[in-house]
Amino acid sequence: MIDDMLFKQAMGEFATGVTVVTTKTFDSQLPTGITVNAFMSLSMDPMLVAISIRNNGSIIRSLKEAHAFGISILNNAQKELSQIFAKQIEQSQPVRFDTLNGTDVIEDALVRMRCVTDEIVEAGDHTVFIAHVTDIEVNEGKPLLYYQGKYHELK
């Protein structure tokens, strides 16, 4: 049998980019977000992406009700934003959001996308959202990376 810690350690060997998934809260319609590294491109035709969120995540209900969400791939200067949305640190000032075709995204992110949910799949202790990309913006910069439980930058 595989030990939980061994599985977590093994998955930590996979270097990922860092994204913040944003949507409106189900109750107040204010922007909310969560740091996600379980993000992937799924298909080119049609253009689909997938994100995986822990079932007890505070954003799950909002994502299910909103049907649209933003994905911001963070640049190497946005580590603090990642930590805020991962609830690793307290935010010292309000996070500034921008919009992409009416969907909240993170200002100055490396990539910003608006996605519309096509399918929601329960998978163990996570929920997978499969969505088509309706809008995309790519900016200059280098990505923020996550590897072995720590943030890294491309050199």
Digits of tens for pLDDT over the chain (155 positions)? 888 899 989 988 899 999 999 999 878 888 999 999 899 999 999 999 999 999 988 899 999 999 899 999 999 999 999 999 999 998 878 888 999 999 999 999 999 999 999 999 999 999 999 999 999 999 999 999 999 999 998 87
- Retrieve residue 134's tokens: 């309706």
Q: Residue 93 has what pLDDT?
A: 81
In the prediction, which pLDDT does 28 show? 81
User: Which pLDDT belongs to residue 104?
Assistant: 95
Strand partners, 40: 50
Burial 64-101 (b: 16+ CB within 10 A, else e): eebebbbbbbbbbebbebbbbbbeeeeeeeebebbebe
Predicted pLDDT of residue 91: 82
From residue 134, give the alpha-carbon distance in Å to each of 46, 48, 139, 149: 10, 9, 17, 32
What pLDDT score was predicted for residue 58?
83
The 3 state secondary structure assigned to the chain is: CCCHHHHHHHHHCCCEECEEEEEECCCCCCEEEEEECCEEEEECCCCEEEEEEECCCCCHHHHHHHCEEEEEECECCCHHHHHHHCCCCCCCCCCCEEEECCEEEECCCCEEEEEEEEEEEEECCEEEEEEEEEEEEECCCCEEEEECCEEEECC
Global confidence as pTM: 0.93
Domain positions in the chain? 17-143
Quickly name the fold that domain 17-143 has: Pnp Oxidase; Chain A (2.30.110)
pLDDT of residue 142: 96
